[in-house]
């Protein structure tokens, strides 16, 4: 079996490619802010952190923020984004999450956005994340539901792109029901979710990031009022770990 961690590291060392979709980072950041506005936490993990822009906004509310990313270039962007006045609260780790030994129940908030599609085993990821969260702690996790009709269109479009670019990189297919069942089994309760579509398929280049942001918001709305949610294949969840 191909080890995805090597391929994914190569892919995300090219930070410019990922950052062309920065409207999506803005939507993720706002989703995170909305999910966390009424909860308290002291020890936060953002893994994978990418540029850090999504979770750094939580710094004023937490005592400790750990940023982990396998991509050296992504993590160095994140390091540059940490405000000088908050640096002492942040720990940055440039490594593969699966190789790190993290004590159980270390965090009361774990953020995991944009990773399930890139790991060797989604089940192993969910199991490891579940263990490192303390009872009553929270997990914010994102997945593209592989059984959603829009995901079929995305796969068709990406398949054509792969043929043209001769790339062999393939995203994992993870069903929403698989993720929800696994986390239920691991003692988590679903509290909130926000659904939208991340991809504009072949039409992405027609719109600026600002336009894509506006179109997404006008069709899908916000966490507080998620319009047309059933049309959204991309789901960001807020789960709470039960107190045993």
Strand partners, 176: none
Find the binding residues for ligand SAM in span 178-237 (CB under 6 A).
none
Residue 64, H or E segment: strand 64-68
Residue 70 engages ligand SAM in binding (rule: CB under 6 A): yes
What is the b/e burial string over 210-225, where b = at least 16 CB atoms within 10 angstroms of the residue's CB? eebbeebbeebeebee
CB of 98 to ligand SAM, least distance (A): 5
CB of 144 to ligand SAM, least distance (A): 11
Residue 129 engages ligand SAM in binding (rule: CB under 6 A): no
Give CA separation, 235 vs 96, 113, 143, 151, in Å: 24, 10, 5, 12
Region of 187 (left: φ > 0; alpha: ψ -120 to 50; beta: rest) is left
Which residue, 112, 129, 104, is CA-closest to 31? Answer: 112
CA distance 158 to 62: 39
Binds ligand SAM (CB under 6 A): choice among 23, 26, 31, 50: 50
CB of 156 to ligand SAM, least distance (A): 20
CB of 150 to ligand SAM, least distance (A): 18
CB nearer ligand SAM, residue 69 or residue 180? 69
76-115 mask for ligand SAM (x: CB under 6 A)? --------------------xxx--------------xxx
Residue 44 engages ligand SAM in binding (rule: CB under 6 A): no
Residues 6+ apart with CB under 8 A from 218: none
Residue 54 engages ligand SAM in binding (rule: CB under 6 A): yes
Residue 23 engages ligand SAM in binding (rule: CB under 6 A): no
- The answer to whether 220 and 229 are in contact (CB under 8 A) is yes
Which residues of this protein are in contact with ligand SAM, per CB under 6 A? 5, 8, 12, 25, 28, 48, 50, 54, 68-71, 74, 96-98, 113-115, 118
């Amino acid at each position: 079996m191909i080890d995805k961690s090597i391929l994914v590291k190569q892919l995300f060392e090219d930070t410019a490619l990922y950052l062309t979709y920065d409207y999506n980072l803005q939507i993720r950041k706002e989703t995170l802010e909305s999910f966390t506005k009424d909860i308290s936490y002291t020890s936060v993990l953002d893994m994978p952190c990418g540029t850090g822009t999504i979770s750094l906004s939580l710094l004023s509310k937490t005592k400790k923020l750990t940023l982990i990313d396998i991509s050296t270039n992504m993590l160095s962007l994140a390091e540059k984004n940490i405000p000088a006045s908050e640096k002492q609260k942040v720990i940055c780790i440039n490594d593969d999450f699966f190789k790190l030994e993290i004590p159980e129940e270390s965090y009361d908030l774990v953020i995991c956005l944009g990773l399930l599609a890139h790991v060797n085993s989604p089940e192993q990821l969910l199991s490891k994340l579940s263990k490192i969260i303390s009872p009553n702690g929270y997990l914010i996790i994102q997945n593209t539901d592989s059984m959603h009709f829009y995901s079929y269109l995305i796969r068709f479009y990406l398949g054509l792109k792969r043929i043209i670019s001769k790339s062999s990189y393939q995203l994992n297919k993870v069903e929403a029901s698989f993720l929800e069942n696994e986390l239920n089994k691991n003692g988590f309760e679903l509290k909130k979710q926000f659904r939208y579509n991340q991809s504009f398929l072949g039409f992405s280049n027609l719109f600026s990031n600002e336009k894509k942001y506006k179109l997404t918001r006008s069709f899908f709305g916000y966490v507080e009022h998620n319009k047309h949610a059933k049309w959204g294949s991309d789901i960001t969840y807020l789960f709470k770990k039960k107190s045993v």
